[in-house]
Structures are given as structure tokens and as C-alpha cells.
Amino acid sequence: MGIGAQVMTKEESTYGTAVTVDLAHPFLSEEVEPEHKRVEGKGQRANQLVHRKDQSEPYLIGASGPLTFEATTKDLGWWLKWGMGSLSTGSVSDSVYPHTCVLGTSLASFTFQSNREFYPSYTDQAFTYEGCKVAKLKLECGKEGILTVTVDIVAENYTTGTALATASYTAGAELLSFIKGSLTIAATATPVESWSIEIDNNLDTERIKQRTSATGGPLRQEPVRKGHATVSWSASVDYDALTNYSRFAGTTNAAIHAALVFTCEGPTLAGVSAYPNLVVTLPAARVDQAKGTGSMGSEGGKLLELSGIATDNGSAAPITAVYTNTQATF
């Protein structure tokens, strides 16, 4: 990744109709790659030792791959919206707006552009992907760490013919971290070493649409959910009592569920008393595993590795992410 590496996005009005990207995102890694494939015949000829040149045909199915970045006090709302489906913004209070995200029945699409510099000349080469959707979204953080986000992107098509856009970053973006963050389990503050939440939108990415000979081979149709989405979570917490282990070992449905609330915060006040933050709530998290790690007296002490899924309790959204910052819209 060269010094000119950049990624930019813009939401589309119509799936697969590319728009001009206008928002740049700082990132850690980007591995979105075109999916060029080949159809290959299996017929055998007498004395044929290798595959014949004229018995294959290339085609493009789309593109896919992960993008990983550090969450900040600006622009995260776009990725939450694209990765969860539904975002609504409340009224401003103390200079900040609450943006509430829940799982939606459909996901908005966006155009994505990355700069793949040639080496060693560092000449720019833009790859522009249209019809992008977030198949998976993962949040993860350590006790003294920065909130890291990974999105698995699937795209309908790409081109190398669109000019590289000039990078434009949102001013005033500071890191969201766990320095002043917290985890509560069943409303009890819980010391935590690390945690993660992953949303798998369960998109059907294998649907293709046929095109004419003039426009090329099949392309990915708009991915839609093919069943339930899955929200999985994990947390490494202090093994200081049987309380959290008992949520795994419980003998009733109520006993193996608990409300989880994860909070990350920005370093600078946005108003009189309001800090930008992200609060993710799983009101009915099921505990499916609990495993002790380490040993008493070892560095870091003994931890309890908890993991499970978010479930629907019939009254509240299975996952709610409230992103509070100074931006009015996404």
C-alpha cells in the first residue's frame, strides 16, 4: 500500500448505477478484488495431455473483499447504515445528533473507489466498483484500544476507466476508543479485555443476470437476504465469579440470555457535556460458550471467554447501534 492509497465512497440512488465518489475514508487495509472466472470444458481428445486453448471462456461475476478501518467520531454512520440497513436521526441536543441503526429489510448500495498504485513508479490507478453492498460488518475493540471496523463488500461490477477522485476527508474526525468505554452485562459493569460484534447479513451473492454478447457475460444481481441475518458477539471478561459462567450453564431459556451494552467514546467534548460515542445494545444476547483461559497469577489473570448470538425477544430490536456525533445526516 503506497503513500497515495485511498478509498472513497458515495451512496447510490439505484443499485448498480455508479455515482461519483466524494467522501474519502482513512483505512488500514483494503482487499476488494474483481472476480474474474473461467468456464472450462472437460472433453477429452485422443492424445490430449493438457487442456485445449479453445475450450475455455472468461467472464466477470463482480467483485468482493474486506475493508478494515479505525472508527472515528465522523462518517461511521455511513457504514452502520450500509451494514445494518436502517438509520434514523433524532433531534440535536447539546450540539450532537443521535443516529439510531437497526437491522433493516434491505441494504442501500454505494459506489466504492480504491487507488491501487503501481510499483515502483507509484503511478495512480483507480478501481471503481458499482453496486456495492455490505455482506458482513464487524466491530472489535480491546480494553485500551481503538474501535476497529471490518466490512465485507460485494459489488456488481467494476471499471479501471474512471478517473481517480480527489481525496476529500471530513474535518474534525477523532478516534473512537475504549479508553473511556464500558461493557455492561445484565446492567452490571463488567471488566473486559476485548470484545467483538459481527453482523452477517446472509446475502445471496450467487444470483446472476444474463447479459447480451455485446455487453459481456453474467453479472451479479442485486444481493438480497436469503434468510435470517446473524449477529454474533464475543467478550473476554474477568473470571471473578460464577455469575457470567452461569449464563452459559443455565438450565432455563431466561438464564442463558442477558442484555449486553458496549460503549466507545471520542476524546473531545462536542457540546457542554456530550461526547461523540457509539453505544451498541443487544437486549437478548444468548450465551453459547464460556471458557476460562490463562491461570491465576499469570500476567493478566484468568479470563472468561464468552460468546453467543443476539436473539429477538419480541419487543426490542435484536441489535441497536446509536452513533452520536455532530453530523446532522447520513
HEC profile of 102-152: EECCCCCCEEEEEECCCCCCCCCCEEEEEEEEEEEEEEEEECCCECEEEEE
Whether 31 shows a pLDDT value over 90: the answer reads: yes
Q: Which of 322, 275, 283, 317 is CA-nearest to residue 100?
A: 322
Peptide bond into 120 cis (omega under 30): yes
Q: What pLDDT, on a 0 to 100 scale, did the predictor assign at position 210?
A: 73
Whether 297 shows a pLDDT value over 80: the answer reads: no
> Following DSSP, what letter does each residue of 230-280 receive, concatenated?
EEEEEEEEE--SSHHHHHHH-SSTTTTEEEEEEEEE-SS-SSSSPPPEEEE
Whether 296 shows a pLDDT value over 80: the answer reads: no
What number is the average pLDDT over the span 93-116? 97
Q: Which of 170, 139, 133, 181 is CA-nearest to residue 153?
A: 133
CA dist list (Å): 291 to 77, 154, 186, 246, 270: 34, 34, 19, 11, 40
What number is the average pLDDT over the span 266-288? 97
Q: Which of 53, 86, 106 is CA-nearest to residue 222?
A: 106
3-state secondary structure 269-328: CCCCCCCCEEEEEEEEEEEEEEEEECCCCCCCCCEEEEEEEECCCCCCCCCEEEEEECCC
Residue 39: pLDDT band with limits 50, 70, 90 = confident
Q: What pLDDT, on a 0 to 100 scale, did the predictor assign at position 302?
A: 86
Residue 220: pLDDT band with limits 50, 70, 90 = confident
Residue with cell 503511478: 123
Query: What gap in Å lies between CA 196 and CA 148, rounded to an integer?
Result: 9
C-alpha cell at 242: 460464577
Contact call for residues 95 and 326 (beta carbons, < 8 A): yes
Q: What pLDDT, on a 0 to 100 scale, did the predictor assign at position 231?
A: 98
Whether 185 shows a pLDDT value over 90: the answer reads: yes
Question: Picking from 67-76, 210-219, 238-247, 277-286, which range would have the lowest pLDDT averaged per residue?
Answer: 210-219
Break the chain into its structural domains and give their ranges: 7-35+58-325
- Per DSSP, the three-state class of 61 is strand
85 in the Ramachandran plot: left (φ > 0), alpha (ψ -120 to 50) or beta? left
Whether 307 shows a pLDDT value over 60: the answer reads: yes
